[in-house]
Structure 1
Amino acid sequence: MKVLIVDDSPVENLFMSVFLEDIALTDCVNNGKDAVKMVQQAISCGKPYDLVCLDIVMPDMDGHQTLKIIREMENREEVKHGKIFMVTSCDSPDQMIEAIGEDGCDDYIVKPVISDSLNKLLVKHGLLC
């Protein structure tokens, strides 16, 4: 499995990488613009990400904007949509509805991310047996 972790916190990027190190190849970036570049590069190489874990609150380009651009890119390039989990420290039902309903993400994770919660989502979405 190939995973892109997008969070402006180096600590969160490290935690997610450690959680996934035995089951995935991970790349980490700290902003939405770099995430878009990485996704485009992966699509161009014919090896798109299976999963993007995308922080919602980031400077310059937030997670919602980044998600919208990634989905538009996948549609334009006619590639299968990768799974996208939005990650946030805010456990707001309104934010969850916006992320899943309007933006087109696949699921939602509340920080601090714990390995058990992440594993359950990976199984739920067919990324882990």
Structure 2
Amino acid sequence: MLLAEDTAISADMMQVMAERLRISMDVAPNGLEAIEMIKAANEEGEPYSLLLVDIMMPILDGIETARRLRREGIDADELPIIAITAAADLEEVRSYRKAGMQAFLEKPVALADLRATLHAWGHGTEGRAQKLRAAAYDALTEQFRQRKQSTITALEEALAKPDLSENHLHELRRILHQLAGTAGSFGEPALGEAARGFEIELMAAWFDGDDPRTVIKQAAIILGQQV
């Protein structure tokens, strides 16, 4: 099984869950590398049997990854593709299907949901869905704590800059996106929703020609209160 996920904490969490279910899982940090890994595995005669793909990734997102794989002739019988997403409304689901995906898992992914999905697509797992090992979960929790603090630091540093380039804003957008994608897994869904909202507002301000500092200042205050 292969996971395409750009956020290290989310990838680590998924790997721990896969380990608990006794499933071997490789990780690619973006869709482009996932495609290369799939091609290499096919050439070696050891193809992946399932692809879990995060919808929002840099370089190549989940939907375009699925489209390219299907255009390459890798069909659903050979490689089922499961979307991992925080957005699961009807239109989003239709776009996943249209791109060639077979199903989706909603973030934050629960161990029981992952186990059920693997069974549904022909992956047997051993044992019952158990809680993550305490040591592994504690390590991930500390990574998440550091991510929260680094997000606030990045927002405050951006406000201190005399000029904000497009690259600066895209980096802030990436940081907010990663926080939004992981907060729910650590029992902080409100923080995740707030980060996702500021991510959207930040890019909207940039594209509309508005001052992004207003959004950044609000994000630093509101997220700082929750951190």
Q: Percent identity?
A: 26
- What is the alpha-carbon distance in structure 1 between the residues aligned to residue 67 and residue 116 of structure 2? 25
Tell me the equivalent position of 2:51.
52
Q: Per-residue deviation at 1:89? A: 1.3
User: In 2, are the aligned partners of 1:7 and 1:29 still within 8 Å (CA)?
Assistant: yes
Tell me the equivalent position of 1:118.
114
Q: Per-residue deviation at 1:23? A: 2.3
Number of residue pairs matched?
124
**Bigger radius of gyration among the two:** 2
> What secondary structure, in the 3-state scheme, does the structure 2 residue paired with 1:126 have?
coil
Higher relative contact order (CA 8 A, sep 6+): 1
Please point out which of 4, 8, 21 is paired with 2:6.
8
Superposition RMSD in Å = 1.9
| Matched ranges for 1:2-81 at <5 A | 3-21=1-19, 22-73=21-72, 75=73, 80-81=77-78
* Structure with more of its chain in helix, by fraction: 2
Q: Per-residue deviation at 1:84? A: 1.1
Q: Per-residue deviation at 1:79? A: 9.7
Say whether 1:84 aligns with 2:64: no
Q: Which runs of 5+ in 1 are unaligned?
A: none
Q: Which runs of 5+ in 2 are unaligned?
A: 126-227
TM-score normalized by the length of structure 2: 0.51
User: In 2, are the aligned partners of 1:7 and 1:54 still within 8 Å (CA)?
Assistant: yes
Q: Which runs of 4+ in 1 moved over 4 A?
A: none
- What is the alpha-carbon distance in structure 2 between the residues aligned to residue 82 and residue 16 of structure 1? 19
TM-score normalized by the length of structure 1: 0.87
